[in-house]
Amino acid sequence: MFIAPNVAAVAVFLLFPLGFSLYLSFHAWDLFRPMRFVGLANYRRLFGSDPLFLIALRNSAVFTVLTLVPTVVIGLGIAAALNRKLFGIGIFRTVAFLPLVASTVAMAVVWRFIFTEDGMLDIGLGWIGWGPVPWLTDPDLALVSLSVVTVWKSVPFATVILLAAMQGVPEPLYEAAKLDGAGAVRRFSAITLPLIRGPLSFVFVITVINSMQAFDQVYALTGSNGGPDTGTYLLGIMLFQNAFGFYEVGYASALAWVIFAILLVLTLLQLRFARREAVDL
């Protein structure tokens, strides 16, 4: 009886939408007319006759790589720098974590002004003799710009997780390594990285999931069409267009379950790798 309200909330707001979206993926529905059962037609269309799916899948894969690698590397670096007992280190930790509490849409709007023609970034580049750069009007640069914004938003979360993991590493291990003559880089690679492999794997999984599901920052930065051209046309934008632009709810539900399947496979592979490489104290 005590947990019944929570169970009911999970059933209503999580399990029912999941089951209903799977049901919708086998139907054609435009929100106005009755549903029509079409079997696997939505999935066959997705994989066989929709060229935009391959474009969205490719862009999402590139965007995930462009986001994942810098997020993990920069997060590790900042966490290692903040994992020190220095006077005033709390101030630096607070500053590093501030982007984590910022609204994604508000953050993307600010970055849009930075990337716009004659914006702050172009003005700064003009001081060193570089001309205006089409950050948001060139299809390739637009995806890179989107990745920069997403990394800026993702790094604080990665830093929080990795810093907490680093602070849990037993100090005697570092002291013993120092006595053996190991330098800072050697201690980090031989002690820190193996012992934070679990949290590092978690950061990998969460970053991949957030990148594959990216929508709000794309919408605020480059619009609802994933422009310019199809430069930032990601799976999240494709799902939004089909569901709320074309009112093809069944097709959008099929796409949502394909995204879920992709993320499930990537997550299981990463967790299996992390479990196999785990280090026990």
Domain segments of the chain: what residues? 50-277
d(CA 174, CA 83) in angstroms, rounded, equals: 13
What's the pLDDT tens digit per position in 214-237? 999 999 999 889 988 899 999 999
CA 167 to each of CA 82, 149, 161: distance values in angstroms, whole numbers, following the listed order: 10, 28, 10
d(CA 174, CA 190) in angstroms, rounded, equals: 10
Peptide bond between residue 228 and the one before it cis (omega within 30 degrees of 0): yes
Per-residue pLDDT, 184: 86
Nearest to 80 by CA among 166, 172, 173: 166
What's the pLDDT tens digit per position in 128-140? 878 788 899 998 8
Q: Give me the chain's average pLDDT, please.
A: 90
In a 3-state reduction of DSSP, which class is residue 53?
A: helix
The CATH number for 50-277, chosen from 1.10.3720.10, 2.40.50.100, 3.30.465.10, 1.10.645.10, is: 1.10.3720.10
Do residues 223 and 246 make contact, with C-beta atoms less than 8 angstroms apart?
A: no
d(CA 174, CA 180) in angstroms, rounded, equals: 10
**Whole-angstrom Cα Rg for the chain:** 23
d(CA 47, CA 209) in angstroms, rounded, equals: 21
Ramachandran angles phi, psi of 141, nearest 5°: -70, -30
Residue showing tokens 């201690």: 187
d(CA 228, CA 27) in angstroms, rounded, equals: 32
d(CA 85, CA 93) in angstroms, rounded, equals: 12
What is the average per-residue pLDDT within 192-203? 91
d(CA 236, CA 60) in angstroms, rounded, equals: 9
Least confident stretch, 38-52, 65-79, 117-131 = 117-131
| N-term to C-term CA, the chain | 41
Least confident stretch, 1-15, 55-69, 172-186, 264-278 = 264-278
Task: Check whether 279 has a pLDDT greater than 70.
Answer: no
Residue showing tokens 């879920």: 260
Per-residue pLDDT, 281: 47
Contacts of 116 (CB under 8 A, 6+ apart): 135, 136
